[in-house]
Chain A
Amino acid sequence: MLEARAIGCERGGRRIFGGISIALAPGELVRVRGPNGSGKTSLLRILAGLTRPAEGEVRWRGAPIGELAEEYGAEMLFLGHAPALKAELSAAENLDFSLRLAGIRASASERRAALERLGVGAQAHRAARVLSEGQRRRVALARLALAARVPLWLLDEPFVALDDDGIARVRELVAGHLAAGGMAVLTSHQEIALPARALHAIALPA
């Protein structure tokens, strides 16, 4: 479904990595590892279609992602480094906006349940500005609880800033997605076991 052929990345004229190939089928997981500055985030941004690779190409269902544009956006969920929350809006409003942007329909009670699933139900009506870093992260990740129908998840450091309870909740969501035939690519420093039909490990050199 997701296929990357020999992609390479350059940032500021410096070659960061090259020759990375990925072939991802339903139920499979790619874990990207590497020291700081090795290009983990860049690789994920290339897979999401934000950054154009210096070489190689990324295909989704056989078509180059550049041509699919928002069609690819409807089948892919990208969670970047920043939680992507507006400080002025409440947790519930932020979740509502991000779901609509991702083309996911959910009722108010479903959104409420998603926030509760991440343990931030009580913060639903507080502005994102007053939430802690970990709570903000949880609100951002609440999208995953309603994204079962989105086949591909691209998660950049999903466990960062989370406590043990938060990590367990997110791990459960990703494991459930993979068990249901979803696909995920994630970067992570932490050693967190995730059951998948096949686990591809990509280690980026320093």
Chain B
Amino acid sequence: MGEAFALALRRDLRIALRRKSDAANVLLFFVIVASLFPLGTGAEPEPTRAIGAGVVWVAALLASLLSLPRLFAADLADGTLEQMLVSAQPLGAVVAGKIAAHWLTTGLPLALLAPLLGLQYGLPAAALAVLCAAALIGTPVLSLLGATGAALTLGVRGAGVLVSILVLPLCVPALVFGAGAVTASLSGLDPAPHLSLLGALLAVSLAVGLWASCAALRVALD
């Protein structure tokens, strides 16, 4: 179980390391999208601060969608996905390893970069810390739900757009609680309830997302 997880994680991290541009593109996209809003909304500090958390969250959501179509499609094309399904290792552990690698190469850097982008919106230090914490809990949710979407649309024409249409609505709760935590902190409220709900969301998507991804992969290769 643990061996299969580590195996898939190590393999995907090594591949990501040799395709650095993929991960860099996601981060660059995130930075650009999140930086466009202050330019578009003008220099008034108040409205900018109010939308800051939401914009950073939406930008992170869109950026993490960018790398999803490739998550399983590359393995399908070269035949390695087939090997994962007929292997001596439990499929769930292998898929979990792949999702963990996806999070480490996209979600984690996005979460660490989020406070920096929050600075552009004039968020105070406390709100920046909440933003980072919320992103650390929330981005794995995006990876898990995203993996389910990627598995469901595997081998379908126009999978890239379809993944977005499928996954974005599912990510609404993560967006609401994630941005809500920052807004609560801005208005002097305790962000802990929002973060707890985000944590609960992570637990649910861990159970459901992993199971659904595996089932969808089996169907896709049938």
Write the residues of chain A forming the contact surface with B, with a CB cutoff of 8 angstroms.
Answer: 48-52, 69-70, 73-74, 76, 78, 80-89, 93, 97-98, 100-103
Q: Pick the contact of A84: B11, B19, B78, B94 (CB < 8 A).
A: B78
Q: Please state if A87 and B78 are interface contacts (CB–CB under 8 Å).
A: yes
A97 to B88, CA, bound (A): 12
Dominant SS at the B interface?
A: helix
A69 to B221, CA, bound (A): 15
B168 CB within 8 Å of chain A: no
B190 CB within 8 Å of chain A: no
Write the residues of chain B forming the contact surface with A, with a CB cutoff of 8 angstroms.
Answer: 3-4, 7, 11, 14-15, 18-19, 77-80, 82-91, 94, 221-222
- A50, A98, A100, most chain B CB atoms within 10 A: A100
Q: Pick the contact of B86: A49, A52, A93 (CB < 8 A).
A: A49
Chain A residue at minimum C-beta to C-beta distance from B76: A82
Jot down 10 A-B pairs with beta carbons below 8 A, ordered by A: A49-B85, A73-B88, A82-B78, A84-B79, A87-B78, A100-B3, A101-B83, A102-B87, A103-B88, A103-B89
A74 to B3, CA, bound (A): 14
Distance in Å: Cβ of A82 to nearest Cβ of chain B: 3
Contacts known (A81-B79, A82-B79, A85-B78); A50 close to B86, Cβ less than 8 A: yes
Chain B residues within an 8 Å CB radius of A51: 221-222
A98 to B89, CA, bound (A): 11
Chain A residues within an 8 Å CB radius of B88: 70, 73-74, 101-103
Contacts known (A78-B86, A89-B14); A83 close to B79, Cβ less than 8 A: yes
Distance in Å: Cβ of A134 to nearest Cβ of chain B: 16
Q: Please state if B15 and A80 are interface contacts (CB–CB under 8 Å).
A: no
Q: Please state if B15 and A88 are interface contacts (CB–CB under 8 Å).
A: yes
Distance in Å: Cβ of A107 to nearest Cβ of chain B: 17
Chain B residue at minimum C-beta to C-beta distance from A71: B88
A78 to B85, CA, bound (A): 10
6 other A-B residue contacts (CB within 8 Å) besides A81-B79, A97-B11: A50-B222, A73-B88, A78-B86, A86-B15, A86-B80, A101-B4
Contacts known (A101-B88, A103-B87); A78 close to B15, Cβ less than 8 A: no
Contacts known (A78-B86, A88-B19, A89-B15); A52 close to B222, Cβ less than 8 A: yes
